[in-house]
Structure formats: structure tokens, C-alpha cells
Amino acid sequence: MDSKTLENIGLTKNESIAYLTLAKAGSIKTAEILKRSGLNSGRIYDTLESLKHKGLISESSVNGIKHFSASPPNQLKEYYEQRLNQLKKEEPIIAETIRQLKTIRDMTRTESRSVVYTGLRGLQTAVDEAFEGVKKDEEILGMGVTSLKDDSINRFWTNWSQKRMGNKIAAKHLFSESSDYYKKYKKMKYTEALILKGITPVTVDVFGTKTVLIMNYKEPISCILIQDEHTVQSFRTFFYQLWSIAKK
């Protein structure tokens, strides 16, 4: 068994290694644990105390010397269930903390701001942040939408659109070319899609009335998030000018 398995149920790396060492060795003293596990001597006592507190190891004295042994494996299940129950109890606290932090963060974001995100993960973060500010009666406008980018990005947008549709947020997309990707969007709920070839080398999305995303999908991937009322209004006006051309 790999120590990573125990880490997945909530043990630290050192706790996982120490527990496995004891499970394999039986009852041994601290020096032997260090020798077999390769753990740092400066942290072994804290690690053993933590495992004792969790009920996963026991301590005994042999000729005045402390020995440690692993508790039966079913104690791992009990520990995991206790951890789950504790998380459930803390869920309302976490939810309230998130609400308060969001209020504090929103208060500090009243002024115009611009942030650059990089990489696919950064893009995902920017999109989620932009979507937070979209109200039920608002819409998302995209121009320069293209299938000519890495498949992982196309998959992200396709999957993310399910979230948008689940919230019944309408969207209009101006595609730069006809493709299966375009046809997929044409079939989506709360979605309109038209083609206006080669309008821009980047993709611009307007999220409601608060945020604009300017996305470059070429490596290195980058996304500029702009929150400014005048900038958003300018891009909205520009989008609808292009939308009327595409309709013709």
C-alpha cells in the first residue's frame, strides 16, 4: 500500500508513513520507527502524538521504553467517518464565512480594476469570477469565438456552458468560422450563435454589465479581466453593431 492512500482519507504525509511503518512492523520503539520510515527525528514525536489522538496507534512501555503499534485497520474507517461528520457540522460555518468574505471582497471592488490571468487554470478562475457578477436578467456576449484552439479549452467552455444554462443565463456568440463547435452552440438552450468571419484575433466576452474578458488562446494562454462600467458599455455597443452585421 502507498502512503498516498492514507493521505486521501485525511492523514498528513508523515502520519501516513508512520502508520504504515507500524502496521508492517508491529510494536517497535521510536528509534526503530525513524530507521524504518526515514522520517525526520525532529517531527516524529508530534506525528506519533497526533496519531494517538486520532486513535490510530497505541503506546505501551516495555522495560521502561515506549513502544508504539498500529491500531486495527477498522479504526481508519472510524476516523474517516468522524472526519466526515465533523465536516458536515462545520458546513454552515464555512458557508457563512464564504458569504462574509464575499461581502468584504465586493466592498473592495467598487473601483475599476484590471487583472491578468495566465494558463488554463487562470482562465477558469477569471470566467468564474466574471460569472459571479452576472444577474438573472443579464446576458453574456461573446465575439471572436472560434474552435481553432486547444481541445482542452473547447471542452472547458462546452462544460462551463452547462453551468450557464443551468442558471438560465442567456448568451449570444459571434463565431469567426463555421464548425462542429459552432453547430453545438446553436443547439444549446438560452443561446444564440451567428457567424462573422475573422472579426478579431482574440475572443472578447462581456459578462452582464460589470465585466469584460479579453482572451488569448495561443500559448502562453492569457486572459485580461476588466471591471469598469464604461469599458463594459463600449464593448456591449461594439458587440451589437457586429451582431446586426452578422444578421444581415
CATH of the domain at 172: 3.30.870.10
Asked if residue 200 belongs to a domain, the reply is yes
- Report DSSP state, residue 164: H
Residue 59's DSSP bridge partners are: 68
111 and 201 in a single domain? The answer is yes
Quick one: what percent of the chain has pLDDT higher than 70?
94
pLDDT band of residue 14 (cuts 50, 70, 90) is: very high
Asked if residue 146 belongs to a domain, the reply is yes
Q: What is the mean pLDDT of the chain?
A: 89
For residue 106, count CB atoms less than 10 angstroms from its CB and return exposed for 0-12, middle for 13-18, buried for 19 or more: exposed
- Least confident among 99-108, 126-135, 225-234: 99-108
Question: Is pLDDT above 60 for 110?
Answer: no
Residue 222's pLDDT is 94
pLDDT: is 103 or 138 the higher one? 138
121 and 211 in a single domain? The answer is yes
Question: Is pLDDT above 70 for 105?
Answer: no
Asked if residue 98 belongs to a domain, the reply is no
92 contacts: CB under 8 Å, gap ≥ 6: none
**Within 13 Å of residue 90, how many CA atoms lie on the same side as its CB?**
9
Asked if residue 100 belongs to a domain, the reply is no
Domain extent at residue 19: 3-74
Asked if residue 144 belongs to a domain, the reply is yes
CATH of the domain at 24: 1.10.10.10
232 and 163 in a single domain? The answer is yes
Residue 47's pLDDT is 92
127 and 45 in a single domain? The answer is no
Report pLDDT digits (tens) over 151-173: 999 999 999 999 999 999 999 99
117 and 220 in a single domain? The answer is yes
Contact 224, 213 (CB under 8 A): yes
Give the count of domains, the chain: 2
145 and 238 in a single domain? The answer is yes
225 and 116 in a single domain? The answer is yes
